[in-house]
Amino acid sequence: MNVGIDRLSFYAPSYFLDLHKLAAARGVDKDKYVLGLGQERMAVPPPDEDVVTMAASAALPIVEAGGAGDLDLLIFATETGVDQSKAAALFVHGLLELPSSCRAIEMKEACYGATAALQLACAWVAAHPERSALILGADIARYDLRSPGEPTQGAGAIAMRIAANPRILAIDPEHGVHAEDVMDFWRPNYREEALVDGQYSTRVYLASLVSAWERYRAASGRGLDAFRRPCFHLPFTRMAEKAQMRLHRAAGLPAPTPEDLQRILGDSLGYNRNTGNTYAASLYEGLVSLLDTCPEDLGGARVGLYSYGSGCMAEFFSGVVQPGYREALFAARHRAMFDARIELDYQQYEDIFHLALPKDGGEHAFAQYRTGSFRFAGLSQHKRIYEAL
């Protein structure tokens, strides 16, 4: 029996900043962002949107299409948690009106969290094939203004239904993992912005890739030629090119040409180039970009997946795209969402960046911006108030 991704839905906020504008404001050559990092736009969540509303908006089409009757596990992976105690999954559970028989928990390990959730859900469904699980990954990537990480900021959410005999991607049982206690990127509880040793983090990402890949190769007996397309965690899209080149080097293969890289990776990078880093959602945003936009029918193709979370946890695994997968995608919905986005000017971006949540426990109603199907409407006595639109 195959187990894997049966539905796959992505959501990004309605507002974005063009990185040409950020480059102008910072006095940086725009090519550093566009070519050097491979980023064009960053998604900016408005003040009445957070990871809960983004994840619920990503999940809604899945629940609307398939119902929630067979759902008994909801795992929400995020490093932008909204409460130290209550799982963000429970807010989503309420917004989506999921059955009270469905467990709801939150999971964290930087950008790796959704992969841990996916693997746990696959094991769960393998043991209970008549049931399904909903995996959410949502984050808001924030660095200090004027820091090297600033142009890689972003926001977005992924939702995946995990089921037996999946319509989109059957997950292979083999995997290779690399875990190591390092300080490449972190966010202390008292900070809104992440701290990062940027160049070091890229070196750890690549070294962990080789270690995870070697373990995957030993477990599966597969070489790089087994994958029609790879998908990598995307802190910025140039990172995928560096990753693919590093894998070639580790395998003793000639370096891929820029044309090879574009052919193998191009379709998986389009969404991220326009949202920025979405942390826990990022790898799966790359997967949905590949499946939505690749003109070639990938049915039957094996996809290699590399998940990396700073700190660090890395995993290389794979899956086989299912014949007829296109019918289970939400490609038209994603296209319409990107087409309808609203551009911010630089000052609007900075104004939104500086907004802080009131901490006085009073009554606060937030102005209404354009959000997905849900909004973070305000605060009352330290409680977050959400509403469906």
Q: Quick check: is 93 catalytic? A: no
Residues 95-114 that bind ligand HMG (CB under 6 A): 110-111
Q: Quick check: is 363 catalytic? A: no
Which residues, at least 6 apart from 27, have a Cβ–Cβ distance to it below 8 Å? none
Q: Residue 256 interacts with ligand HMG (CB under 6 A)?
A: no
Q: Find the part of the chain contacting ligand HMG (CB under 6 A) among 68-76, 230-238, 334-342, 357-365.
A: 230-238
Residues 64-83 that bind ligand HMG (CB under 6 A): 79
Which residues, at least 6 apart from 212, have a Cβ–Cβ distance to it below 8 Å? 176, 177, 178, 306, 314, 315, 316
Task: List the x/- string, 136-155, binding to ligand HMG by CB under 6 A.
Answer: ------------xx--x---
**Bridging pattern class, strands 3-11 and 154-164:** antiparallel
Residue from 35, 253, 331, 342 binding ligand HMG (CB under 6 A): 35
DSSP run (H or E) holding 41: strand 41-44
Radius of gyration of the chain (CA): 20
Nearest by Cα to 8 from 287, 343, 199: 287
- Half-sphere exposure in the Cβ direction for 123 (13 Å, CA): 6
Q: Residue 319 interacts with ligand HMG (CB under 6 A)?
A: no
Q: Residue 233 interacts with ligand HMG (CB under 6 A)?
A: yes
Contact 111, 310 (CB under 8 A): yes
Residue from 235, 286, 319, 372 binding ligand HMG (CB under 6 A): 235
- Half-sphere exposure in the Cβ direction for 197 (13 Å, CA): 10
Q: Find the part of the chain contacting ligand HMG (CB under 6 A) among 27-35, 87-95, 293-301, 355-363.
A: 27-35
What's the CA gap between 388 and 113, in Å, rounded? 26
- Residue 346's Cβ-count burial label (10 Å; 0-12, 13-18, 19+) is middle
Taking the complex as a whole, how short is the minimal distance between the CB of residue 37 and ligand HMG, in angstroms?
6
Q: Quick check: is 193 catalytic? A: no
Q: Which is nearer to ligand HMG, 79 or 106 (CB)?
A: 79
Q: Find the part of the chain contacting ligand HMG (CB under 6 A) among 83-91, 117-125, 155-163, 232-240.
A: 232-240
Contact 281, 245 (CB under 8 A): no
From the list 93, 175, 233, 334, the catalytic residue is 233
Task: List the x/- string, 181-200, binding to ligand HMG by CB under 6 A.
Answer: ---xx----------x-xx-
DSSP run (H or E) holding 43: strand 41-44
Contact set with ligand HMG (CB under 6 A)? 29, 31-32, 35-37, 79, 110-111, 148-149, 152, 184-185, 196, 198-199, 201-202, 205, 233, 235-236, 239, 277, 279, 308-310
Q: Residues with catalytic annotation?
A: 79, 111, 233
